[in-house]
């Protein structure tokens, strides 16, 4: 009987890996598992056709899997490669053998010597957090919370299916401005708006043309877009993803001021007939901005009372045994401070 081998993923492991993933993504068909895996890892433009996946193998069987979605963030003109732990599973017959920890160690060792690299964990849970903290991760200073907006009229219409039919792009005027509701992702205008309004003093999610063509290609039929124009110039947008007949979530947004954002949210709620709209706030500042647009945020005490768990994000530099100074970029920016990050739901996998 062969020992367990830890190695980086290559296509020869794909069939066995997809079989293991069926235990994790048990609600998906074989074809859907393959499609999701290929989109998330093999088609990611920031991986340069070399997905960041580590596997544990026994004989020819993949028994452990740890994968990271790679994205880019920028700070002061420097581009950082940010690894986001996305999926992990150990076969039930091989659990409690330290395989998950060894896969993490393999990954961290593999990153040694790389520059401009950070690791951001947005999916830590009660089981994985203690082990991650022992391996040098630190918690960020804000527990991410969801905000909600409810449209009662849309709820009634969705319940009795009053508005079924083919979607049509619509342009509505607001005084001298225009708001477009569409299923079209207008990449060039969105990228230009992001480039012109990027905050160089925070770690900002770098969204370029390649990113948008990849990120919104998966299940694109579920996405809706609202754009705000002033004199034919885009000054704000919101991207929505429909998660059920009654619910949508804000994937990302950018607006030159809160007035445009408030109008985009409120008018989209009515136009797209969204019963329940959710949004994720990643800092105190963002929570305040979204509250100003009418979102109501879940009270922390209530979350605990009903037994829900909201854990903070975890972050760390790539060095194996980080010291205090390693958590500062350029000896200035503390990566544990949520105010120093700017990202959106679309950056979470």
pLDDT of residue 39: 95
- How much is the pTM? 0.91
Give dist(CA 187, CA 191) in Å, integer: 6
CA distances from 289 to 8, 74, 265, 279, 294 (A): 42, 22, 12, 12, 9
Q: How confident is the model at residue 128 (pLDDT cuts 50, 70, 90)?
A: confident
Residue range 188-207: mean pLDDT, rounded? 93
Q: Report which secondary-structure segment, H or E, holds 172.
A: strand 170-174
Domains of the chain: 4-139+311-347 (3.40.630.30), 145-299 (3.40.630.30)
pLDDT at 1 over 60: no
List, in order, residues 6 or more apart from 229 with CB less than 8 Å away.
Answer: 177, 178, 179, 180, 235
- In the predicted model, is pLDDT for residue 22 greater than 80? yes
How many C-beta atoms lie closer than 10 Å to residue 153's C-beta?
12
Looking at residue 164, what is its pLDDT?
58
Report, as an integer, the average pLDDT of 21-32.
93
Ramachandran sector of residue 53 (left: φ over 0; alpha: ψ -120 to 50; beta: rest): beta
What is the pLDDT, as a whole number, of residue 310?
Answer: 77
User: What mean pLDDT is reported for the chain?
Assistant: 90
The confidence band for 28, taking pLDDT boundaries of 50, 70 and 90, is very high
**Which pLDDT band, with edges at 50, 70 and 90, does 162 fall under?**
low
pLDDT in tens, 281-311: 999 999 999 999 999 998 877 666 776 777 8
**DSSP states of 286-303:** HHHHHHHTT-EEPPHHHH
pLDDT of amino acid 153:
73
């Amino acid at each position: 009987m062969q020992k367990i081998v830890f190695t980086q993923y290559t296509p020869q492991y794909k069939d066995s890996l997809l079989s293991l993933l069926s235990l994790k993504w048990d609600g998906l068909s074989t074809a859907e598992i393959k499609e999701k895996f290929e989109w998330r890892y093999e088609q990611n433009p920031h991986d340069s056709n070399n997905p960041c996946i580590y596997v544990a193998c026994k004989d020819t069987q993949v028994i452990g899997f740890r994968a990271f979605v790679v994205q880019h963030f920028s700070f002061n003109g420097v581009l950082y490669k940010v690894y986001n732990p996305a999926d992990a599973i150990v076969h039930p017959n091989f659990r409690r053998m330290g395989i998950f920890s060894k896969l993490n160690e393999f990954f961290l060792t593999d990153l040694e010597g790389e520059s401009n690299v950070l690791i951001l964990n947005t999916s830590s849970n009660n089981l994985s957090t203690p082990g991650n903290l022992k391996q040098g991760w630190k918690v960020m200073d804000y527990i991410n919370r969801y905000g909600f907006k409810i449209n009662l009229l849309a709820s009634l219409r969705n319940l009795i299916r009053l508005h079924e039919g083919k979607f049509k792009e619509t342009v509505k005027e607001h005084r001298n401005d225009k708001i477009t509701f569409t299923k079209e992702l207008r990449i060039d205008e969105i990228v230009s708006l992001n480039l012109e309004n990027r905050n160089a003093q925070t770690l900002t999610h770098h969204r370029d043309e390649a990113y948008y063509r990849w990120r919104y290609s998966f299940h694109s039929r579920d996405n809706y877009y609202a754009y705000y124009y002033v004199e034919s110039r885009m000054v704000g947008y919101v991207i929505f993803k429909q998660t059920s007949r009654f619910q949508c979530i804000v994937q990302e947004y950018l607006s030159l001021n809160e007035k445009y954002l408030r109008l985009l949210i409120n008018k989209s709620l009515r136009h797209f007939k969204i019963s329940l709209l959710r949004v994720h706030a990643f800092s105190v500042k963002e929570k305040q901005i979204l509250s100003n647009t009418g979102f109501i945020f879940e009270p922390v005490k209530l979350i605990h009372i009903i037994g829900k768990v909201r854990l903070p994000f975890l972050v760390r530099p790539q060095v194996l045994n980080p010291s205090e100074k390693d958590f500062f970029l350029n000896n200035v920016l503390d990566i544990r401070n949520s105010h120093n990050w700017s990202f959106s739901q679309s950056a979470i996998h």
